[in-house]
A and B are shown apart, each in its own frame.
Chain A
């Protein structure tokens, strides 16, 4: 049986049509942001420059694609339809009458659907891992920069130790199937996932320790929600069965957090060393505030500009790291639709077929580009103040 094809124009039209929920979401959010940009602070200022608009647009595009992945993609990303093996872009799958818009790969899966579902994996892991890395880096970087001395020496030495590891070697050691039999990833997860709980507990404690009514509510909430997520992620014993993470994904997650938190640590430490010489810190010290109050409520809010910019860049970098992991076949399942794995599979067959390689590469590139543009424009806007 011969596969029938639709023309190039119809492919473009089809792709644009498939993304309809994304366009609606984009128009709504961008329109609202434009209308209220005066009241939206730093985010609103992004809409003053072309670079900022493009950056926000690309990031939102992939965010909505990830959210509406099941509506956007016409096929199951893992389903194999034998007749569509290596089909060129625009081949029509006979049974459903829908086209393989970007063609089929060597296992007869729809390249377009895989690209769309790949965005889900990236947009869940990359921001979450960056968030945890920020928590770890901030919680350790604040005291290192503020106290200096022995704490700084020890923590900086440890951070430099991790930074001296070439990333690829670190991943080859930490993300192997064998290591899942040992308690190491779980121990590391247990350690890293403690940091957000510690961070928020100290945050609320230092602020509200003289106002027990507020303190107990906030502290209780932190411990309950934190403990619930912690139990679900580290021990996989969530009583409500909502929070669950694959051992494989936990391993990747931990490795990525481990690789990027020393970078955050260094930035936070540098910022704190700069900010602690300011007058308002001296004023707080004279008032008799506790060191942790000064760090979390005086210094940290004033370091937020560079930290937000760094977080944007770091999400992009984490995306690249995830792609590297996929490219080397580490951690993620071999049939997983993430972009790195797709690039690996396709790049081996470039001599015969190029169409399965292009969608994931362009997807990854555009997402990271969007984040970088966003970060660049954020930096420019925060410099203006």
Chain B
């Protein structure tokens, strides 16, 4: 088991290395750098001035050298101040070193956000914790509701409850966040007026009034999917021999479901819930933009829209990490929950 986890961690590190390099390459394409230079300098700058800004801030160094600096395996070079000829900070607002130092991801330095004029870490981590709260609320709503729907539908395959709940879950998987968000806002904020259509105030304090809509919107898309998986798993379990045995020895239907079926039926949904995180991540971006909630997704959109290189790299690193770690947890957890599977 341990060697399996270690091997998986190794693959994970390799994947992250490859992915960050791809992201690094795509963000640093020439048109993107030009766009950054234009947004960072005054209006009406000539092509030469843009070029000299890029050179002056170290964006024209060799690709691998820069990637190494970002990673922290190549010392970060200070830039030369053209006026004095002395080494200077690259961006004054982030306390960049004036002597060559190893300062990259491996050392815990995420770099410098050009859009927010601060270090990436001081922008990214508060945003992540804000999103963490949102995610927690969503999971607290999504998991119990979807498991309940799935179990109720799968308990008696083909019954009217099953048909109704199945169609409802298909409908919910057909409703992406930007659709359900609009519909919920129209119903609950515009018509009924009982909920707030914006979660901007949730950064100060979360209330039922401003936080329900984002949570509902995010949860609804996942509920259908998890419920369907739970139903399929439940249906399969209910046809097993040991369920029939339990029924035949005279147990009531309810106690068969609760005592014998549930434990086995919930193994598959666990994997599905874990693998749901990458989808939630996209949903988070949509919902945070739609309801103006200052979290990770909002930061990602700001970073991408303004070509904020280091911030976007930080965001990609975090999101790729989340995707990979949930995959790992789902594999390991599956082996734990299901005694029939032993990892070689």
Contacts and interface: CB of A to CB of B under 8 A. Distances in A.
**Same complex origin of A and B:** yes
Interface of A: 51, 157, 160-161, 163-169, 172-174, 176-179, 181-182, 184, 316, 320, 323-324, 327-328, 340, 343-344, 346-347, 350-351, 354, 357-358, 361, 364-365, 368-369, 371-373, 376
B282 A351 contact: no
Contacts, number: 130
A328 B289 CA distance: 9
Nearest 9 CB-CB pairs, A to B?
A178-B31, A369-B174, A172-B304, A368-B174, A173-B26, A320-B176, A361-B179, A168-B282, A166-B281
A28 B107 CA distance: 68
A178 B35 contact: yes
Contact of B176 (A181, A323, A346, A351): A323
B186 A174 contact: no
Interface string B285-304: 11001100000010011001
B194 interface: no
Given A182-B30, A343-B182, A350-B190, A324 B23 contact: no
Given A161-B18, A354-B186, A365 B175 contact: yes
B19 A165 contact: yes
For chain A, what secondary structure do more than half of its interface residues adopt (helix, strand, loop), or is it mixed?
helix
B274 interface: no
B167 interface: yes
B301 A164 contact: no
Interface stretch (B64-72, B236-244, B318-326): B318-326
Contact of B179 (A160, A165, A168, A364): A364
B185 A350 contact: yes
B282 A167 contact: yes
Contacts of A371: 174
A339 to B, nearest CB: 9
Nearest to B297: A168
Given A167-B278, A182-B29, A368-B175, 13 more contacts: A163-B278, A164-B19, A165-B19, A169-B300, A172-B300, A178-B31, A179-B31, A343-B178, A346-B182, A350-B197, A358-B186, A369-B171, A369-B174
A354 B15 contact: no
A327 B287 CA distance: 11
B13 interface: no
A325 to B, nearest CB: 11
Given A164-B323, A165-B320, A172-B304, A372 B178 contact: no
A346 B15 CA distance: 39
A164 B174 contact: no
7 contacts: A166-B282, A169-B315, A182-B31, A324-B176, A358-B183, A372-B170, A376-B170
Contact of A327 (B174, B175, B286): B286
B47 to A, nearest CB: 15
A54 B289 CA distance: 34
A161 B19 contact: yes
Contacts of B183: 358, 361
A184 B25 CA distance: 11
B101 interface: no
Contacts of A350: 182, 185-186, 189-190, 197
B212 interface: no
Nearest to B301: A328
